[in-house]
């Protein structure tokens, strides 16, 4: 992206720490927002090796970097180097956004709000809804957190290793005393008979579908028109194609990516993110 920034002592520095990081779209779409609002700032990708993470976080303070996004593989590890984390980070156990206030680093996780903002475009009120969540990895924790906060009735959470679901239930206990009634662990072979008829929303948080030839997580032909289907992968996966064929409402991972970035921008700048401008930069 060609950018015009007035480089001076007043130019703020932002960035993203990841390994690898070159593929990241964040520099383009965060820069588009800074430019649009005439905020003198640059946003750069920083390739940080795992063994250098502590030093890299220290450099945020030393160099006066205003804000940083954190991506794979540092989201969990970075937490211990921060001065403070917001509530959602404690549950999700991952941080993707750091704000530097005069050397005091606060960690946030904007994936949760990013996901829910995207989903609400399809279904504005999630209260009382029943949701099937596929997977129990790091990404699922942000999604589970946001669904519980929105007051969903049930989350059927499927995973190959159900121990991970039980761990999530354990970790989320302080969030609601009803956690054991909200999250129900379920194996993939039970989805068609015992879950699909009862749920409103299906969310894939696994990497299955990234490659066309991946073995489907269940028989996607059993999806019904009433289901709203979300895949957090940034493309039309076999799951989403099946949903489209049935006439369902569906969404890929792009809205989550867009809104998590917009939320980070708002945390850093205190200004409303120019969503349309950021979306255009993301789709380029
Ligand atoms: P992320 O941070 O993206 O969530 P992760 O924490 O490594 O990544 O989690 C990956 C998720 O995808 C897990 O739920 C994993 O299932 P297991 O816990 O049973 O390993 C799931 N996953 C990955 N490949 C899968 C496959 N081929 N079939 C089913 N689930 C898969």
pTM score: 0.95
Task: Determine the average pLDDT of the residues in 254-277.
Answer: 98
Q: Where are the domains of the chain?
A: 12-109, 113-255
Q: Which atom of ligand 1 is nearest the CA belonging to 215? A: 27
pLDDT reported for residue 2: 57
* CATH class of the domain at 113-255: alpha beta
Q: Is 75 a catalytic residue?
A: yes
**What values do phi and psi take at 53, rounded to 5?**
-60, -45
At residue 272, the pLDDT reads 98
Out of 75, 99, 154, 279, pick the active-site residue. 75
Average pLDDT over residues 162-191: 97
Q: Could you give the CA distance from residue 230 to residue 240 in angstroms, rounded to a whole number?
A: 7
pLDDT, tens digit, 9 for 90 and up, residues 48-107: 999 999 999 999 999 999 999 999 999 999 999 999 999 999 999 999 999 999 999 999
pLDDT at 284: 86
pLDDT digits (tens, 9 = 90+) for 27-45: 999 999 999 999 999 999 9
ω into 69 cis (within 30 of 0): no
Q: Give the model's pLDDT for residue 3.
A: 61
pLDDT recorded at residue 234: 92
Which CATH class for the 12-109 domain?
Answer: alpha beta
Number of neighbouring beta carbons within 10 Å of residue 50 = 9
pLDDT at res. 4: 65
**pLDDT surpassing 60 at residue 1:** no
pLDDT single digits (tens) 192-242: 999 999 999 999 999 999 999 999 999 999 999 999 999 999 999 999 999
Residue 187's closest CA among 207, 216, 217? 217
Average of per-residue pLDDT across 24-29: 93
Compute, in angstroms, the gap from residue 136 CA to the centroid of ligand 1. Answer: 7
Average pLDDT of the chain is 96
**Binding pocket residue ranges, ligand 1, CB within 6 Å:** 135-140, 159-161, 164, 205-208, 217
pLDDT, tens only, 132-176: 999 999 999 999 999 999 999 999 999 999 999 999 999 999 999
Q: Please tell me the predicted confidence (pLDDT) of residue 11.
A: 94
Domains 12-109 and 113-255 share a fold: yes
Residue from 74, 111, 137, 157 to probe ligand 1 pocket by mutation (most atoms less than 8 Å from CB)? 137
Task: Provide mean pLDDT across the span 115-122.
Answer: 98
CB 220 within 8 A of CB 132: no
Burial of 188 (0-12, 13-18, 19+ CB in 10 A): middle
Task: Give the span between the Cα atoms of 135 and 160, in whole angstroms.
Answer: 8
């Amino acid at each position: 992206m060609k950018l015009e920034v007035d480089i001076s002592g007043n130019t703020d520095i932002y960035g993203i720490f990841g390994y690898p990081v070159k593929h990241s779209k964040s520099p383009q779409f965060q820069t588009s927002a800074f430019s649009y609002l005439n905020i003198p700032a640059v946003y750069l990708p920083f390739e940080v090796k795992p063994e250098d993470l502590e030093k890299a976080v220290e450099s945020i303070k030393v160099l006066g970097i205003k804000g940083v996004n954190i991506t794979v593989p540092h989201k969990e590890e970075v937490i211990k180097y921060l001065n403070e984390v917001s509530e959602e980070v404690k549950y999700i156990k991952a941080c993707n956004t750091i704000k530097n206030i005069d050397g005091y680093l606060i960690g946030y996780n904007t994936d949760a709000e990013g996901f829910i903002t995207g989903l609400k475009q399809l279904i504005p009120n999630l209260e009382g809804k029943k949701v099937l969540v596929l997977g129990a990895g790091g990404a699922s924790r942000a999604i589970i957190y946001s669904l519980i906060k929105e007051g969903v009735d049930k989350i059927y959470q499927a995973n190959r290793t159900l121990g991970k679901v039980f761990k999530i239930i354990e970790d989320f206990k302080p969030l609601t005393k009803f956690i054991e009634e909200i999250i129900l662990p379920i194996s993939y072979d039970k989805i068609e008979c015992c879950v699909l008829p009862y749920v409103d929303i299906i969310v894939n948080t696994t990497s299955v579908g990234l490659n066309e030839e991946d073995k489907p997580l269940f028989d996607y032909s059993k999806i019904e028109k009433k289901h709203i289907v979300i895949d957090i992968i940034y493309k039309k996966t076999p799951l989403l194609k099946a949903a489209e064929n049935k006439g369902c409402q569906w969404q890929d991972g792009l809205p989550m990516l867009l809104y998590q970035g917009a939320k980070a921008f708002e945390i850093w700048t205190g200004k409303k993110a120019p969503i349309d401008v950021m979306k255009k930069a993301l789709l380029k």
